[in-house]
Amino acid sequence: MTVQAIPQNAAPNHELPDLIWPEKSGDIPDWIYTDPRVYELEQKRIFQGATWNYVGLEVEIPKRGDFIRSYVGSVPVIVVRDLREQVRVFENRCAHRGAEFCKSYRGNSRSFVCPYHHWTYDLTGKLAGVPFRNGVDGKGGYPEDFNLSDHNLRSLNVTVLGGAIFASFSQDMPSLEDYLGPELYGEFTTIFSGRKLKMLGIHRNVLQGNWKLYQENLKDPYHATLLHTYLTTFGLFVAGNKTGIVADKDGRHSALLNAKPEGRPDNDASKAEIRSFKAAMQLADPSILEFNKEFDSPWTSSAITIWPNLILIRQLNILSLRMIVPQGPNEFMLVWTAFGYEDDSPELEQHRLRQNNIFGPGGFLGIDDNEALRFVQDGIKRSLPRHGVASLGKDVEPMDTVITDRAIRSMYKHYREVMGL
């Protein structure tokens, strides 16, 4: 194949005039994954713009003074329960010289003290004191017009839904219900219904790819039916299952829904195109795939992608969150949080923990995506520029069409609007 020319007749973007999106529907230019200027603009317009970003669970900070470190885009933040039990989110950046002062992943504290010059903030992010404000023996110190209140931590807008905490740099945001839209709100509140949660564990891993590849990955049923031997062979997601894709009206969030049939999938003609389908493969312990129906939902799994930084997964009895933390154009961190409910039986909790081995950095199928995304980033980074193709299916099609890139295209339609590309 020849190298594709970038069309020159599309309207240029004001901030990045040399970057022109290809005209053909479904074409995705390489530079959105690699160009540092695009990455910077994403931080400004998406993560620091009018978006709700997942930052943690209320159950991680149950008591006054409990805090966790988290991120909004690349910006480090602290999520804390203040003395009046209100959840606060502020930048993890000292107002003095800019130090990322909190280095503990989680803890309990009455205040935050920057280690560099000991500026001290209370749990609402207010600057409570600075050492040597008036100098020593009348010499030195800050000028008379120095006000503590001019140097508070930068606070973010916060909202909580069913125990999940979201933050925004924008103070003018719709409710999370309106932000998600009715299609996704229903899926979200099936899991976050207000029932008390219980943390089962957290792990983090760094992936060598652009952060958007992970959003794409969970909006991409095509790969799920092909790449993942575990999903196809044991019927968790195989072409022919009852499936659906729903998206919000702006196309930025979506949910990939699937109903696993009883038992193993038939080894019929529909599996001939699936090289990852291994009819002879057996599980030594099939109990890992047991499903205790716990929600009033026709789906055994839903993969909900919430723009811009959250994946909410329900797969059999696995409940987990994946928070995307971009770390430059070519790298992002995933923070995986597995949870259940406080009133789960000990057996169900054990089952959830065991079942969680399916996902995660070393999981039975999570590892496939880690590799595939790295292959994509390597390919894009190291070869001559051309466009990727996401032209499967139609933009308007029945919800149960599964061999489609519809949700990827709708995400990029929204992305282009926000980015002015």
Cβ proximity of 261 and 235 under 8 Å: yes
CA angle 314, 316, 319 (to 5 degrees): 35
Cβ proximity of 90 and 154 under 8 Å: yes
- Closer residue to Fe ion, CB minimum distance, 344 or 369: 369
User: Which residues within the stretch 314-353 sit at the binding site for Fe ion (CB under 5 A)?
Assistant: none
Binding span for Fe ion by CB under 5 A among 143-151, 253-261, 286-294, 368-376: 368-376
Binding span for Fe ion by CB under 5 A among 34-42, 193-201, 367-375, 391-399: 367-375
Within 218-304, residue ranges assigned H as helices are 221-224, 229-233
> Terminus-to-terminus CA distance in the chain, angstroms?
26
- Closer residue to Fe ion, CB minimum distance, 68 or 324: 324
- Closer residue to Fe ion, CB minimum distance, 27 or 369: 369
Minimum Å distance from CB 218 to Fe ion? 7
Element (H, E) at 369: helix 366-382
- Closer residue to Fe ion, CB minimum distance, 60 or 369: 369
Minimum Å distance from CB 366 to Fe ion? 8
Binding span for Fe ion by CB under 5 A among 3-11, 250-258, 351-359, 364-372: 364-372
- Closer residue to Fe ion, CB minimum distance, 216 or 369: 369
* Per rule CB under 5 A, count of chain residues that contact Fe ion: 1
Residue among 300, 337, 73, 306 at smallest CA distance from 201:
337
Minimum Å distance from CB 275 to Fe ion? 15
User: Which residues within the stretch 120-159 sit at the binding site for Fe ion (CB under 5 A)?
Assistant: none
Percent helix, strand and coil across the chain, each to the nearest 5? 25, 25, 50
Number of other residues whose CB lies within 10 A of the CB of residue 305: 27
Give me the residue whose beta carbon is nearest to Fe ion: 369
Minimum Å distance from CB 368 to Fe ion? 6
Asked whether position 369 contacts Fe ion by CB under 5 A, the answer is yes
Element (H, E) at 302: strand 301-306
> What's the rounded Cα separation, in Å, for the pair 26 and 31?
15
Strand order in the sheet with 332-341: 197-207, 332-341, 318-326, 310-315, 301-306, 254-259, 242-247
> What's the rounded Cα separation, in Å, for the pair 17 and 15?
6
- Closer residue to Fe ion, CB minimum distance, 248 or 369: 369
Binding span for Fe ion by CB under 5 A among 20-28, 362-370, 375-383, 404-412: 362-370
> What's the rounded Cα separation, in Å, for the pair 68 and 86?
14
Minimum Å distance from CB 217 to Fe ion? 5
Minimum Å distance from CB 227 to Fe ion? 6
Binding span for Fe ion by CB under 5 A among 290-298, 366-374, 376-384, 394-402: 366-374
Minimum Å distance from CB 406 to Fe ion? 17
- Closer residue to Fe ion, CB minimum distance, 326 or 366: 366
- Closer residue to Fe ion, CB minimum distance, 49 or 240: 240
Minimum Å distance from CB 231 to Fe ion? 8
Cβ proximity of 352 and 318 under 8 Å: yes
> What's the rounded Cα separation, in Å, for the pair 275 and 73?
37
Asked whether position 216 contacts Fe ion by CB under 5 A, the answer is no
Contact positions vs Fe ion (CB under 5 A): 369
